Structure 1
Amino acid sequence: MDGYFVRLNQFISHHTKYSRREADVLIEQGRVNVEKTKADFKTILKDNQRVFIDGKYIKPQKNDLYTVVVYHKPKGEIVSKKDDRGRRVIYDSLGEKYACFVPVGRLDFASEGVILLTDSKKVAQSLMESSLEREYIIKVKGNITQEIIQAMTEGIYLENAQAGAHPKNKIRQMEFAPFAKYEIIKNEKNFSKLKVSIKEGKNRELRRFFAYFKKDVLDLRRIRYGWVCLNALPVGKTRFLNKDEYKLLHKFMDKGD
């Protein structure tokens, strides 16, 4: 923990069987002691301070200490620190306390859904470079043809993948791997709805894919990143990973993808 600043309840939840809420109860009951300072809800640990619960020293686990936040990004926000066109960025909503957090991948301006943010660049890079499934609910204009189904099943390589891309993006060629999973929820002449899972996060990958078949994406929402699901998290709100999600993340970081 040398040089690292972390909330007391976060430290307890990372290194014991207790959740953050349970840690808050322990602190409130006066069962938590911190070396060289008073233990309360505002306590920030630093300089290798030792923590005790009921007089028992809590030995930090070998996992690096980091925090991961789930954000339900709304449409109309850029996943960036700032935007040269003056558009709203996610940090306008997240506030100063998350200013140092790094986003795991991107969602474009017109898309919404799960964005993970972490205070560990190592965690962010590992998650971004992984083949963890990214799951989306997509609404497209028109019907889903057999040609699209074949491309979702077998993958496709495009010499010109600029349709569906940002006008300033210079990537022309793009290879689309077979979708990890797909489910056609609704398939009609006016519009169709799908649930799809992919294992990459290329620039506007899904918009480019469907644009090649002249199917405009009307709505795109990411509902899962790996084992982290959006569930009922309201648009524009955040939550921390829960205890089980942190366990899976620790295993992921220990073993790799």
Structure 2
Amino acid sequence: MTEELLRLSKRMSELGLSSRREADEWIARGWVRVDGKVVSELGTKVYPSQHITVERQAAAEQSKRVTVLINKPVGYVSGQAEDGYTPAVALIKAENRWAEDRSPEQFHPTQLRSLVAAGRLDIDSVGLLVLTQDGRVAKQLIGHDTEVDKEYLVRVQYTKGDKLPDSELKRLNHGLWLDGKPLLPAKVRWQNDDQLSFTLREGKKRQIRRMCELVGLKVLGLKRVRIGKVKLGDLPTGQWRYLSADEQF
């Protein structure tokens, strides 16, 4: 069987060495070796069996990249500024850092460069949002084959009668379609009389609100409380902390 050539940056991303953007940066700086030889030409292709190593500078630079957890308030967008709305990254400043953050990391404004949201949380939703400079973290959380689930607490009101029928709760767990495609199975259960817990593996635009609409539920409030093994915990609204070295999604 013949091997297929792949772009070096794509192969590095597949191997979990870096994001594609980081890979291109490192190749341009001469920090990547294929079978022991430095490769500095962007767009170079390699065979999967070839051995890829990166120089120590790349690893050192990567370990300096920060990941920040923020408890996003209503009225902030998670990504780029849009239509006069402020992006959540504007809240990342020294005075908004949670006093109980136990990370030894010192805040410096250069950390705001290339700090991107790894996943969306829409303007009307609150809770845990991850901003990272580390391409590996972003890929882990928003790559199309992500294994990381996310948990939300959703306050709802049933609009078609007294109480959501069990058959509709079952459909929320599995059986709904959005955008012409079946949704992956979810875990949806009642937390109390007016609040559901949703655990999802995917994140289509306004997915939970649209799922609720399909079964006659109106969403009154939506809060993300967990991403993988990382919980929102007691982090106050509008404040942030660093992902600590011993935390993994």
Same fold at TM > 0.5: yes
CA apart distance, 1:104:
0.7
Give yes or no for the alignment of 1:141 onto 2:148: no
Partner in structure 2 of residue 89 of structure 1 = 87
Quote the Cα distance in structure 1 between the aligned partners of 2:183 and 2:171: 8
Alignment CA distance shift 1:63-1:229 (3 Å): farther
Query: Mapping of 1:7-86 within 5 angstroms?
Result: 64-65=62-63, 66-83=65-82, 85-86=83-84
Provide structure 2 residue ranges, at least 5 long, that are not aligned to the other structure. 1-24, 27-55, 94-108
Residues 1-257 of structure 1 mapped to structure 2, 5 A cutoff: 64-65=62-63, 66-83=65-82, 85-95=83-93, 96=109, 97-129=111-143, 130-142=146-158, 143-158=163-178, 172-179=179-186, 181-187=187-193, 192-245=194-247, 248=248
Instruction: Judge conservation of contact 1:70–1:240 (CA < 8 Å) in 2.
Output: yes
CA distance change for structure 1 residues 183 and 86 in 2, over 3 Å: closer, same or farther?
same
Measure, in 1, the Cα distance between the counterparts of 2:231 and 2:165. 29
Counterpart of 1:148 in 2: which secondary structure? Answer: helix
Which residue matches 2:12? none
Kept in 1, the 8 Å contact 2:174–2:183? The answer is no
Structure 1 CA distance, aligned partners of 2:132 and 2:86?
A: 20
Report the 3-state secondary structure (helix = DSSP H, G, I; strand = E; otherwise coil) of the residue aligned with 2:75: coil
Tell me how far 1:91 sits from its aligned partner: 2.4
CA distance in 1: counterparts of 2:176 and 2:134, whole angstroms: 34
Aligned equivalents of 2:176, 2:61: Cα separation in 1: 39
- The residue type paired with residue 219 of structure 1 is G
Structure 1 counterpart of 2:174, which letter?
E
Whichever residue aligns with residue 225 of structure 1, its letter is I
- Counterpart CA distance in 2 for 1:63 and 1:149 is 47
Equivalent pair of 1:102/1:117 in contact (CA under 8 Å)? yes
Shift of 1:174: 4.1
Q: Contact 1:223–1:230 (CA<8 Å) still a contact in 2? A: yes
Instruction: Give the secondary structure class of the aligned counterpart of 2:76.
Output: coil
TM-score, length basis structure 1? 0.61
SS at match of 2:172: helix
CA RMSD of aligned residues (A): 2.8
Contact 1:113 1:222 in 2 (8 A): yes
For 1:76 and 1:107, the matched residues in 2 are separated by 11
1:244 alignment partner, SS class: coil
- AA paired with 1:178? P
Classify the secondary structure of the residue corresponding to 1:123.
helix
1:126-180: CA deviations, max 9, x gaps?
321213110010011123322322113333224xxxxxxxxxxxxx43422221x
In structure 2, how many angstroms separate the alpha carbons of the residues matched to 1:237 and 1:174? 37
Q: Compare relative contact order (CA 8 Å, sep 6+) and give the higher one, 1 or 2.
A: 2
